[in-house]
Amino acid sequence: MTKPESIEVRPLRTAEMPEALALVERVFMAFEAPEYSDEGIQTFLTFIRDANAVSALTFFGAFEEGLVRGVLATRGSSHIALLFVDAAHQNRGIGRALFSAAWHACRADGMTVNSSPYAVEIYRRLGFEPVSGEQVRDGIRYTPMQCMKP
């Protein structure tokens, strides 16, 4: 699937961060939190509300009609820390477009992610493979995955 014509993917501006982080929290609570313990939910919310942690990430946004429809953030250029698409705009190629932007910006031989249970199949479709089984840390359930450049 190609990027929808009406979607612009680009680095987020500082002024767009509140809207982007609100989208991340809203989508997390709807799709991932039901799979997590209270500890895991608190760990995630504490992370995205920590200005220092967030400022260490590189954010890409997918915009349509001036509104953020999806967000991807990387640690360094090669580890996906966040990938969220607004529920009303999923299955339109927005996640793939965000990944493509991050992939082109990646300076390493590939990318890694600690995928939530909800997103494992999404990452598989993007070319990621698990490198070990599911793990739990601070209540966060994840599967370490990687995608290597050809």
User: So where are the chain's domains?
Assistant: 8-109
Cα dihedral value 45, 41, 74, 89, nearest 10: -90
17 residue type, one letter: M
pLDDT in tens, 14-46: 999 999 999 999 999 999 999 899 999 999 999
pLDDT at 3: 59
Q: How many CB atoms lie within 10 A of CB 2?
A: 8
Instruction: Please report, rounded to a whole number, the percentage of residues in the chain having pLDDT higher than 70.
Output: 97
* The predicted structure's pLDDT at residue 2: 53
Range 8-109: architecture per CATH: 3-Layer(aba) Sandwich (3.40)
Instruction: Kindly report the number of other CB atoms within 10 A of residue 142's CB atom.
Output: 17
Contact 138, 112 (CB under 8 A): no
Provide the whole-model pTM.
0.93
pLDDT band at 1 (very low <50, low <70, confident <90, very high): very low
